[in-house]
Amino acid sequence: MKHSSRIRLGLGALGISAALVLSGCASGGGTSASSSADSGKLTPITLQLQWVAQAQFAGYYAAVAQGFYKKEGLDVTIKEAGTTTVPIDALAAGDADYAISWVPKVLGSIEQGTNVTDVAQIFERSGTTQISFKDKNITTAADLKGKTVGSWGYGNQWELFAGMQKAGIDTTSGIKLVQQAFDMNGFLAGDIGAAQAMTYNEYAQVLETVNPKTGALYQPSDLNVINWNHEGTAMLQDAIWANADKLASDKTYAANTTKFIKASIEGWIYARDNPEKAAGIVTAAGSTLGTSHQLWMTNEVNKLIWPSTGGIGVIQKKAWDQTVKIAKSTKDDTGSTILTQDPPSTAYSNKYVDAALKELKAEKVDVLGASFAPLTVTLKEGGK
Partner 1 sequence: MKRLRGALLGIAGIVLLGVLWEGYKALAPAIGVKIGAITVLPRTSDAAMPHLATMLQRALDPVTAAAGSPPLWTAVLQASLFTVSIAAVSWVVGVIVGFLIATLMQRFRTAESALLPWVVLSQTVPLIALAPLVKRWGSLVHFGAFDWQDWMSVALIASYLAFFPVSIGALRGFASPEPAHLDLMRAYGVGWWRTYLRLRVPASVPYLVPALRLAAANAVIGTVVAEVSIGLSGGVGRMIIEFAQTGSSDPAKQWAPIFGAVLVGLVAAGAVALLGLALHKYRRNEVTA
Cβ proximity to partner 1, 88 vs 305, nearer residue:
88
- DSSP 8-state symbol, 217: B
Query: What span, in angstroms and rounded, lies between the C-alpha atoms of 57 and 271?
Result: 10
Q: Using only C-alpha atoms, what is the Rg of the chain?
A: 23
Cross-strand bridge partners of residue 195: 131
Residue 260 CB, shortest distance to partner 1, in Å, is: 19
Out of 1, 37, 189, 362, the residue judged to bind partner 1 by CB under 8 A: 189
The answer to whether residue 95 forms part of the interface with partner 1 (CB under 8 A) is yes
Stretch that binds partner 1, among 3-11, 112-120, 263-271, 343-351 (CB under 8 A): 3-11
According to the binding rule CB under 8 A, does residue 32 interact with partner 1? yes
Task: Kindly identify the residues of this chain, within the stretch 296-355, that bind partner 1 according to CB under 8 A.
Answer: none
How far apart are alpha carbons 258 and 251 in whole angstroms?
Answer: 11
Which amino acid appears at position 61 of this protein?
Answer: Y
Measured distance CA(50)–CA(155) in Å, rounded: 12
| Strands 223-227 and 128-133, sheet pairing | antiparallel
- Site residues for partner 1, 168-187, by CB under 8 A, read 181-185
* Contact call for residue 383 and partner 1 (CB under 8 A): yes
Q: What 3-state DSSP class applies to 77?
A: strand
DSSP for 168-215 reads T--TTTSSEEEE--SSSHHHHTTS-SEEEEETTTHHHHHHTSB-TTTS
Q: What angle do CA 306, 263, 106 make, to 5 degrees?
A: 70
Distance CA 352, CA 169 (A): 41
Using CB under 8 A as the binding rule, the residues of this chain from 36 to 55 that contact partner 1 are 52-53
3-state SS class at 251: helix
Distance of closest approach, residue 30 Cβ to partner 1, in angstroms = 9
Minimum Å gap between C-beta 250 and partner 1 is: 18
Question: Is residue 268 a contact partner of residue 69, using CB atoms and an 8 Å limit?
Answer: no
Q: Which stretch binds partner 1 (CB under 8 A): 92-100, 114-122, 157-165, 332-340?
A: 92-100
- 222 lines the binding site for partner 1 (CB under 8 A): no
Answer for which of 177, 188, 355, 365 binds partner 1 (CB under 8 A) is 188
213 binds partner 1, rule: CB under 8 A: no
Minimum Å gap between C-beta 209 and partner 1 is 4
β-bridge partners, 148: 176
The answer to the question of residue 6 lying near partner 1 (CB under 8 A) is yes
Cβ-based nearer residue to partner 1, 95 or 222: 95
Choose among 75, 76, 123, 62: nearest CA to 280: 62
**Residue 90 is a binding residue for partner 1 (CB under 8 A):** yes
SS3 string, 298-348, reads: HHHHHHHHCCCCCCCECCCHHHHHHHHHHHHHCCCCCCCCCCCCCCCHHHE
Which one of residues 105, 262, 272, 293 is an interface residue with partner 1 (CB under 8 A)?
Answer: 293
Stretch that binds partner 1, among 6-14, 223-231, 255-263, 311-319 (CB under 8 A): 6-14
- Show the site string, 232-271: x = touches partner 1 by CB under 8 A, - = not: ----------------------------------------
Rounded CA separation 151/179 (Å):
5
Q: How far is the CB of 378 from partner 1 (least distance, A)?
A: 13
Cβ of residue 90: shortest distance to partner 1, in angstroms?
7
CA–CA separation, 134 and 268 (whole Å): 35
Closest approach of partner 1 to the CB of residue 43, in Å:
17
Of the candidate spans 75-83, 127-135, 264-272, 352-360, the one that interacts with partner 1 by CB under 8 A turns out to be 75-83
> Which of 43, 209, 243, 258: binder of partner 1 (CB under 8 A)?
209
What is the CA 5 to chain-centroid distance, rounded? Answer: 56
The residues binding partner 1 (CB under 8 A) are: 3, 6-7, 9-14, 16-17, 20-21, 23-25, 27-29, 31-33, 52-53, 80-86, 89-90, 93-95, 181-185, 188-189, 201, 205-206, 208-209, 280, 283-284, 286-294, 380-384
